[in-house]
Amino acid sequence: MTLLKRSYSKLGCFDYFEQRSKCILIKDGSNTKIREVYLISEGASELAISVRPVHAGILIGRLGNRLVLSLEGAGIAYRAGCKIPFVTVNENGEKLILYGRDVFGQSIIDASIDIRANQNLVILNNKLEVVAIGRARYPNPLLFKKDSITVMNLLDVGYYLRLQND
Amino acid sequence: MKVSIFPDSNISKALSVEFGYNEWMISRYLEFIPSLKECLLAMEISLPKYIRINTLKISKYDLIQRLVKKDVVCEETILDDVLLIKKFRYPIGAMTEYLLGYYYIQDLTSCLAVEELDISPNQFNLDMASAPGGKTSFISQKMKNFGCVVALEPSSRRIRALKFNLSRCGVSNTCIYKLDGSFVERLGLKFDRILLDAPCSCEGIIAKDPLIKTNLIPRKIESCMLRQVELLRSAIKVIKPGGLIIYSTCTFAPEENELVINNLLETNTNIKIEPQKFGERGLIKYGDIKLDNRLVDTRRFYPHFHNTSGFFIAKIRVLEGE
């Protein structure tokens, strides 16, 4: 729990998740060192504790040494005002992401100032909705570099649909 | 119980040749589908597309604005949260709004089944056959993500789809159990509302899967019926007094609809079939079989009358204090 609270603080969403402390469920993942963190309604959490389900609520992240947010978790945390590094892409960039492609510099229209190379971030569309989780290949000023992939797409909202179609 | 097979006639022969159905199916349909030719014609064209707005994530107004900007032409329906899609430029199952969980592609009748559950937040509800999660997420939406929904699904592959859809729709009040609905008693829980959208022979979605016209055999209907009776009996065991069960199928077969409910009425004195707002009255006579008069309050939906897939809904109230 301490690790989780420390992660909340680091993400700047301590208050948001602390208010929902009753609705956070932690369960051992397939790798026992990594635990899974779920956001769950109070009624469902009571049941999940007494009769163990295969899944409950929304998986918001995985907890090892720190909390690594899932795509859904990143979306919830971003909407809650957490300080998550981001890049915003234009409509064309959004389309490419939903096909599983990486992000070219010319598609980026905004980015957090303090992004470092290899840092994980959220990719937002022009309506500021989280459409993917990515990793920066360069620090911020270089993220806008034309004709080169500057952010790698790690997981996007179109992933499952593509998986089904394959 | 055996599936009723009716004598073939010139009409059944002509219609089965014209529309490519097994003749025994047409002979049966002539017994209980009104204006059969119109119905068969309606099933030759693709089903109308409906979407259910996920108000857990977006307001109806905002979604309509976004869809209009993407050249989607939509129309209101009898349900506030459901829109009929008249025209679209991009596939509606691949739009950003869909992937973000702002809407769910779902037939109007499926939404009607949930609507009839009279859901309110803080209830303890059960979806007995929940994958891929359309109705489950609508139940959660109606509960405003409060209370708890128990979702049962025996197949691991379908649980993956269920998890994806519930996460996509931002549903946080659901516990998924890998369990066949007939064993729900093992959980030791009692529910306020139960949705049993039973596995069926799917005659109502022939427009989506035309192979049913030739592949359906009477034994399939029989096996579905046995399963449905079993599932409904299990549901009765875990409903709280005063609770409500919605039984639905997407088939026309009376053996899987009225006869299943008739069987339940014969074996349970403490249940009541409640009336519903929409749809055609259920059958109270089928061939030579006289059914319980209370079945008139069950509802049938036909493609040519309601512009939906073929569907059946029964609203079963378990009486208190008995």
Among candidate residues B89, B106, B123, the one where a domain is terminated: B106
SS3 category, B254: helix
> What is the C-alpha separation between B157 and B295, in angstroms, rounded?
36
Among candidate residues A79, A102, A125, the one where a domain is terminated: A79
- Residue whose entry in the numeric block shows the structure tokens 């992004």: A115
pLDDT of amino acid B41: 97
Report which of B165, B119, B141 is spatially closest to residue B58, judged by C-alpha positions: B141
**Statement to judge: residues B18 and B118 lie in one domain:** no
Domain count, chain B: 3
Query: In which domain, by residue range, is B191 found?
Result: 108-318
* Tens-digit pLDDT string for chain B (322 aa): 789 999 999 999 999 999 999 999 999 999 999 999 999 999 999 889 999 999 999 999 999 999 999 999 999 999 999 999 999 998 999 899 999 999 999 999 999 999 999 999 999 999 999 999 999 999 999 999 999 999 999 999 999 999 999 999 999 999 999 999 999 999 999 999 999 999 999 999 999 999 999 999 999 999 999 999 999 999 999 999 999 999 999 999 999 999 999 999 999 999 999 999 999 999 999 999 999 999 999 999 999 999 999 999 999 999 986 5
Q: What is the largest CA-CA distance in chain A?
A: 54
Portion 100-139 of B in contact with A at CB < 8 A: 100, 122, 124
Portion 35-94 of B in contact with A at CB < 8 A: 93-94
Amino acid at B76: E
Q: How many CB atoms lie within 10 A of CB B288?
A: 6
Digit-coded pLDDT (tens) for B196-220: 999 999 999 999 999 999 999 999 9
Chain B neighbors of A59, CB-CB under 8 A: 167
> What is the C-alpha separation between A13 and A18, in angstroms, rounded?
8
Q: Does A40 touch chain B (CB under 8 A)?
A: yes
Cross-chain Cβ contact A43/B148 below 8 Å: yes
What's the residue count for chain B? 322
Closest-CA residue in chain A for B172?
A57
CATH (domain of B70)? 3.30.70.1170
Task: Give the rounded percent of residues in chain B with a pLDDT score beyond 70.
Answer: 99
- Given A41, A43, A157, which is nearest B99 (Cβ)? A157
The β-bridge partners of B239 are B191
CATH (domain of B229)? 3.40.50.150
Going by the DSSP 8-state scheme, the letter that residue A106 receives in this structure is G
SS3 category, A15: helix
**Statement to judge: residues A62 and A127 lie in one domain:** no
Chain A neighbors of B188, CB-CB under 8 A: 51
Query: In which domain, by residue range, is A142 found?
Result: 86-165
Higher per-residue pLDDT: B50 or A16: B50
Average pLDDT score, chain B = 96
Q: Does A129 touch chain B (CB under 8 A)?
A: yes
| B247 Ramachandran zone, left/alpha/beta (phi>0; psi -120 to 50) | beta
Task: Specify whether B250 is catalytic.
Answer: yes
CATH (domain of A118)? 2.30.130.10
Structure tokens at B54: 């996920």
- Given B159, B172, B175, which is nearest A47 (Cβ)? B175
Among candidate residues A79, A107, A122, the one where a domain is terminated: A79
> What is the C-alpha separation between B171 and B158, in angstroms, rounded?
17
**Statement to judge: residues A22 and A69 lie in one domain:** yes
**Statement to judge: residues B129 and B256 lie in one domain:** yes
Q: Does A57 touch chain B (CB under 8 A)?
A: yes
**Statement to judge: residues B74 and B121 lie in one domain:** no
Cross-chain Cβ contact B148/A41 below 8 Å: yes
CA atoms within 13 A on the CB side of B217: 3
Q: Are B308 and B48 in contact (CB under 8 A)?
A: yes
Peptide bond into B132 cis (omega under 30): yes
**Statement to judge: residues A13 and A50 lie in one domain:** yes
**Statement to judge: residues A75 and A92 lie in one domain:** no
Among candidate residues A79, A99, A115, the one where a domain is terminated: A79
Residue B2 lies in a domain: no
Chain B neighbors of A42, CB-CB under 8 A: 146
Domain count, chain A: 2
**Statement to judge: residues B192 and B59 lie in one domain:** no
The dihedral sign for the CA sequence B245, B249, B252, B254: negative
Residue B291 lies in a domain: yes
Which of B74, B111, B169, B250 does the annotation list as catalytic? Answer: B250
Cross-chain Cβ contact A58/B167 below 8 Å: yes
Interface test with A, best of B98, B130, B165, B174 (most A CBs within 10 A): B174
Structure tokens at A21: 């402390």
> What is the C-alpha separation between B236 and B247, in angstroms, rounded?
11
